[in-house]
């Protein structure tokens, strides 16, 4: 039985400009992408930043992925973010939501988003 305490770290509304999509215009013009993260991490044993996930560093990493190499699908983008987050041994699981609020849809809409959840045990 696992007695380790866990904490949830949430980051919402991380924004970056990316050139993701299947349409040529998306690749040339780019658009804003918004990312939400929810991480389950081992609870720190001490009151030290080195004992937990540095969410400032994590935010920089995530925005770097959004602003980095273009992909066709936001599913792929979300998967890249999940993989990067899970590299930290303290992260037990993560849910990533990538929002594409300027998606090329011809009808009125509020948001398009893809959510991926994964744990170390998957």
* pLDDT tens string 56-89: 999 999 999 999 999 999 999 999 999 999 999 9
Which of 116, 110, 104, 82 has the alpha carbon at shortest distance from 27?
A: 104
Q: Which residues are catalytic?
A: 100
At 15, the pLDDT band (50, 70, 90 cuts) reads very high
**Tokens matching residue 121:** 């045990």
Residue 1 has pLDDT above 50, yes or no: no
Compute the distance between CA of residue 46 and CA of residue 32 in angstroms, rounded to an integer.
38
pTM as predicted: 0.91
* pLDDT tens string 101-121: 999 999 999 999 999 999 988
6-119 domain in CATH 3.30.1130.10? yes
Name residues whose C-beta falls within 8 Å of residue 43's C-beta, 6 or more positions apart in sequence.
4, 5, 6, 7
What pLDDT sits at residue 5? Answer: 85
Cα torsion 111, 80, 10, 114 to 10°: value is: 20
Q: Please state the domain extents for the chain.
A: 6-119
């Amino acid at each position: 039985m696992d007695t380790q305490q866990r904490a949830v770290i949430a980051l919402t509304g991380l924004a970056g400009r990316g050139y993701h999509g299947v349409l040529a215009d998306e690749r040339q013009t780019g658009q804003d992408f918004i990312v939400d993260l929810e991480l389950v991490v081992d609870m720190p044993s001490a009151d030290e930043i080195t004992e937990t996930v540095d969410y400032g560093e994590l935010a920089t990493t995530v925005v770097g992925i959004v602003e980095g190499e273009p992909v066709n699908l936001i599913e792929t983008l979300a998967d890249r973010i999940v993989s990067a987050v899970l590299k930290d041994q303290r992260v037990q699981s993560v849910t990533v939501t990538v929002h594409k609020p300027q998606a090329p849809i011809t009808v009125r809409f509020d948001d398009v988003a893809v959510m991926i959840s994964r744990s170390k045990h998957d």
